[in-house]
Each structure stands twice: as C-alpha cells, then as structure tokens.
C-alpha cells in the first residue's frame, strides 16, 4: 500500500523558448498513516509534485501508482484514491449550505443521499465544525479559518486513501492556523497525508518525515528529527532554516556545546542553559 | 503624514451593513515603519484601502499630507503619495519584462523618458533586482516577484507605502528579503505601513498597531507589547517559537530583551 512516484520528470512549455524544468527525476513513496512535509523554495517544484501525485498533471516521463494501480489522468481524484486540498480552497465553496457543499463530493462518487449526508456529518465533525451549528449556514458567512476547514471537510468526506494539501495554513491568523495544523495531524489516522508548505515551522514539529525539494530534485528525504539535527540541509536546498534552529546553530557557532537541537522552546532553553553551565 | 481621524467603515451588502472599522485614530509619519497586526476580519485590509482613498470612510476622516482622501479634485494627488502593494504579486505584474513592468506606472503618469529610466533603475536597485531588467517576470521566484511589485510602486516615488500581507506567498528567505527592503525604504524617509500575520515582523517596526474586531487595541512600540503576555493574549497574538525560546531563557535568568524575535538577537544576549 503506497502512493509511488518513479522517475518523474516534468517540463512546462517543453520544446518552446519558455521551457521550464519543474521536476528533474523524482522517486518518492508515501505510506498510509504517515504525515509527510514537503519543503522547498518558491519554484522548487512542490506544487508540480502534488499535481502529479494527484493525477491532475501527467508528467512528461515517469509513473505514478496508487496502491499498485497506475494513475492515468484526472480520474484518480474522483475515485477515492487521492484527495487534493488546493491553495485557498475556500475560494471554491459554492453550495447554499456548508453541509451541501461537503456532501457534493461523496454524491459525485455515486453514494446515496443518506450515505453522503453521513459522510458530510462525520467530515464536518473531523474539522471541528459541528453539523448542528454549521451545517445549514451559508459558506459565505464563515470566517476565513472556518471556510478553510469547511473546504478541507469537503475533501475528507470523499474518504481518500491519500490526502494532499498545498499550503493549507497560508493567509490564516494564529487561531485558524492552529486549528488547521491539528486537523492535518489527526488526518493521518485515516489517510497518508502529504503537506506542501513554504513555512517550515508550521508542520516540522508534527511531521513524521520531511522531503526537501530544490530545483526539481529531492535533496533530503528522512525523519523530521534527522533534519532538525542537521539544519544545514535547509541552506543546501536554498531555504532559510526556522529561526528556532538558526538560534541554536548560532549558539553552537559561538562555542556552546549543545547536546542536541530542539524545536521545543522549553527544551532548547534547557539545553542552552546546560551548555552554558558546562562552559563555565 | 497620513492621519486617520476617528475613522469608521461599513461594507454595505444586500443583507445590511457590516462594520469593518470603528473609532480608529492613528498616524503614519514619513520615515516611520508601522506594523499592523490582527486576526482575519479585524479590518487590516480595510485600513490599507482607506489610506490611499481606494475606500472612503463611512465616518471620520483620512488626511494625507493635509489633503482629505475624499477630495474628488485631488484623488490622484493622494494616490501618487500613497503606494499600495497587495498580497499576490502575480495579480500586480502587467508587462513582459521586469523593466517595462516597473516603467508602467510612471509612463502612465507621463513622466519624461530620461527621468523615467532613472526612476526605474533606482526602484530596481532599491529592491535588489538590478541586472534582471530584461527578464520575463514569470521566470522570477516568488520573493523576486513581490520585490518587483514593490519596485513598481516605488517608481511612482510615493511618500508612503502601504503593503497588505506582502510576504504571505513567500518562503522564509523571500520574507527576510522583503523585510530588509522595507527597513531600507524607511531609512530613506518613506513612511511604511506593513500589514502582516507574522508577529516576528513587528520586531523591526518603530510602532505596532493591533486591530481586533475593527478597533485599535494597541498602538505603541513593539517592546511594550511583546513584554506584556496578557495584552498579547487579548490581541490574539502568540510569540513565534524563537520568541518563546527568549521567554524561556529569561525565565532561566538570561537577560534577553523582550523584542528579541530573531535568532541573532536572542543569541547575542547569551
């Protein structure tokens, strides 16, 4: 069981003067139950990677397989295989009520009204928008954070085996970002989750695995903690490391012997305090 | 100086009117960098659109260098003094080369050819895009595109620049580059209003304005806000991780200043 990309290459406007290489040979595999964070500078190929994995874009070469089945064309999205949450997905809410919007996906998968309603109710619960309170409201009366969550519910309701999200927290305030982070982290119980973002700090703490993309190539693929312990990998991929890790790198450069690096402020402060004791 | 004097604004919809701002009084002086923070729907973007007369206040007044923003005879006077930059650079780029894109504004104002070239060169130099004049904008990175959008506003030589979440689409490096440009413009005398969701951006500001529910809940120096945990909570703000590291270090007896929100400033205190 996995979502697998093998030897994937893609060039936009291939054969013209505007040809732009987006993916230059990518081999990756995503498993159910894991939360994978994909990081890369703007233009590194992150969004192309997601579109290929969802079957929305057929790459120039290479193959995509879901649980052993070859993906060929956009049908993968309608089948329960892969769910895709686009950037600013709330722009696509369209129905008269939140519940009808979330029900739209399962209905189009051929489920009955009852089954679709049941799916919508569960999906709304999963994103913390109780169907009682929110189901009959117009999507246009929701706050920015609530609308984003309703849009994610619309994808969860189709019960995808793999859930792909492109910048799910961009443009949201503190509260909205935290709610979406929790929903995404919890979703790994029901699907393999792949999150693309340019803000490393948003998901680095909760991800099981991190992939760094640079100019269409994978430059790092490993456990999140391995990346935390070697933050110089960020710069290698043309990315700025999170300030938390930069602070600890600078402390090391200044001569402090930190036992390890941490994303947790309390733990990092403790390790720095200990290193200062040791230096005395 | 831009003055907001007891400003209220309501959006009119079919179902009635929705208040976006009420009782807002604040200022933006030349050579000042003000960061505007607040949750979604707190009125930040409305404030930006009021600053250059794109919207007119329902109550109160907005005055730009003594010109009332509703003065129909002086609309262009106000707009040429206050440049506006939006969140998504792709929506603001119009030409097929970097140079032409920056020249678009001054050309439309009928600026003379020689002085226009000078303006374009200066604007691109200020945002660090010199040498890319002939590039097609779509081949630029996100951070470069946003700096191009800023250069386009600068070519009109505005006295004030209002930016509505200009770093929302950018990676950390792109964000750092834009913040750096804003600091340099401020030093050169431009008044900057920077609307953002990132509290860390406030550390570089002269003043921070926090809006919630359309009202000003804080207007003052960043250090006072950042040192007051309860006020921060009331404003719906949380420290970024490196700010919490600074807090933990303070609790452990290290003398880290409250406005230390970058790796450098925290480590400098060790």
B69 with B11: CB under 8 angstroms?
no
Residue A254 included in any domain: yes
Residue A249 included in any domain: yes
Q: Name residues whose C-beta falls within 8 Å of residue B37's C-beta, 6 or more positions apart in sequence.
A: B44, B196, B197, B199, B202, B208, B209, B210, B211, B235, B237
Is the per-residue pLDDT at B159 higher than 60?
Answer: yes
Q: How far apart are CA A278 and CA B179, in angstroms?
A: 37
Express each pLDDT in B178-198 by its tens digit.
898 899 999 999 999 999 988
Q: Virtual CA dihedral for B113, B119, B120, B125, nearest 10 degrees?
A: 150
Question: Of A42, A176, A249, which has the smallest distance from its Cβ to B142's Cβ?
Answer: A42
Low-confidence ranges of chain A (pLDDT < 50): 76-78
Tell me how many residue pairs between chain A and chain B have CB atoms under 8 A apart.
Answer: 115
Instruction: Give residue A271's domain range.
Output: 242-280
The β-bridge partners of B83 are B161
Residue A61 included in any domain: no
Question: Of B142, B244, B270, which has the smallest distance from its Cβ to A265's Cβ?
Answer: B244
Express each pLDDT in B88-147 by its tens digit.
778 778 889 999 999 998 888 788 888 889 999 999 998 888 999 999 988 887 778 888
Express each pLDDT in B204-251 by its tens digit.
899 999 999 999 999 999 989 988 888 888 888 888 889 999 999 999
Q: Please tell me if residue A185 touches chain B, with a CB cutoff of 8 Å.
A: no
Mark yes or no for CB contact A243/B249 under 8 Å. no
Q: How far apart are CA B125 and CA B119, in angstroms?
A: 10
Predicted local distance difference test score (pLDDT) of residue A80: 63
Tokens of A205: 């703490």
Give the total number of structural domains in chain A: 1
Neighbouring CB atoms inside 10 A of A25's CB total: 14
Question: Of A42, A170, A254, which has the smallest distance from its Cβ to B141's Cβ?
Answer: A42
Residue A274 included in any domain: yes
| Closest CA in chain B for residue A171 | B168
Residue A51 included in any domain: no
Does the complex come out with an ipTM higher than 0.90?
Answer: no
Express each pLDDT in A202-248 by its tens digit.
899 999 999 999 999 999 999 999 999 999 999 999 898 999 999 99
Predicted local distance difference test score (pLDDT) of residue B240: 86
Mark yes or no for CB contact B172/A199 under 8 Å. yes
CATH of the domain spanning B2-238, picked from 3.40.50.300, 3.40.50.150, 1.10.2020.10, 3.40.50.10490? 3.40.50.300
What is the overall mean pLDDT for chain B? 90
């Amino acid at each position: 069981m996995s979502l697998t990309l093998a030897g994937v290459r893609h060039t936009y406007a291939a054969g013209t003067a505007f040809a732009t290489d987006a993916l230059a040979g990518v081999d990756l595999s995503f498993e159910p139950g894991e939360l994978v964070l994909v990081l890369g500078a703007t233009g590194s190929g992150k969004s192309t990677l997601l579109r290929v994995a969802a079957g929305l874009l057929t790459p120039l070469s290479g193959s995509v397989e879901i649980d052993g089945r070859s993906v060929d064309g956009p049908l993968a999205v309608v089948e329960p295989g892969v769910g895709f949450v686009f950037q600013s997905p709330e722009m696509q809410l369209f129905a008269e009520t939140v519940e009808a919007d979330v029900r739209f996906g399962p209905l189009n998968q051929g489920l009955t009204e009852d089954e679709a309603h049941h799916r919508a109710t569960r999906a709304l619960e999963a994103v913390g928008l109780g169907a009682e309170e929110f189901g009959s409201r117009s999507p246009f009366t929701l706050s920015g954070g609530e609308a984003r969550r309703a849009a994610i519910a619309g994808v969860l309701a189709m019960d995808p085996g793999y859930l792909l999200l492109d910048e799910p927290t961009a443009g949201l305030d503190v509260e909205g970002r935290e709610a979406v982070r929790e929903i995404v982290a919890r979703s790994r119980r029901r699907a393999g989750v792949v999150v693309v973002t340019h803000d490393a700090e948003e998901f680095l703490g909760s991800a099981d695995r991190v992939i760094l993309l640079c100019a269409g190539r994978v430059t790092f693929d490993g456990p999140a903690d391995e990346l935390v312990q070697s933050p110089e990998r960020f710069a290698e991929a043309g990315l700025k490391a999170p300030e938390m890790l930069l602070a600890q790198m600078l402390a090391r450069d200044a001569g402090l012997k930190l036992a390890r690096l941490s994303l947790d402020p309390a733990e990092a402060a403790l390790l720095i305090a200990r290193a200062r004791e040791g230096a005395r | 100086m831009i003055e907001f004097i007891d400003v209220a604004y309501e959006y009119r919809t079919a179902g009635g009117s929705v208040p976006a701002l009420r009782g807002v009084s604040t200022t933006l002086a030349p050579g000042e960098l003000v960061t505007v923070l607040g949750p979604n729907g707190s009125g930040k973007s409305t404030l930006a659109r009021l600053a250059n007369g794109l919207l007119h206040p329902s109550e109160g007044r907005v005055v730009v260098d003594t010109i009332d923003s509703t003065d129909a005879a002086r609309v262009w006077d106000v707009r040429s003094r206050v440049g506006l930059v939006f969140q998504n650079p792709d929506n603001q780029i119009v030409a097929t080369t970097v140079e032409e894109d920056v020249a678009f504004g001054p050309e439309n104002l009928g600026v003379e050819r020689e002085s226009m070239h000078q303006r374009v060169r200066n604007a691109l130099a200020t945002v660090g895009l010199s040498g890319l004049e002939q590039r097609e904008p779509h081949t630029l990175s996100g951070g470069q595109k946003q700096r191009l959008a800023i250069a386009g506003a600068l070519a009109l030589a505005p006295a004030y620049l209002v930016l509505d979440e200009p770093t929302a689409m950018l990676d950390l490096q792109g964000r750092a580059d834009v913040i750096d440009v804003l600091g340099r413009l401020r030093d050169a005398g431009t008044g900057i209003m920077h609307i953002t969701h990132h509290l860390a951006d406030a550390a570089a500001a002269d003043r921070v304005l926090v809006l919630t529910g359309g009202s000003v809940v804080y207007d003052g120096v960043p250090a006072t806000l950042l040192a007051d945990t309860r006020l921060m909570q009331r404003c719906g703000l949380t420290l970024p991780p490196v700010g919490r590291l600074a807090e933990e270090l303070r609790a452990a007896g290290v003398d880290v200043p409250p406005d230390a929100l970058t790796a450098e400033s925290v480590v400098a205190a060790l």
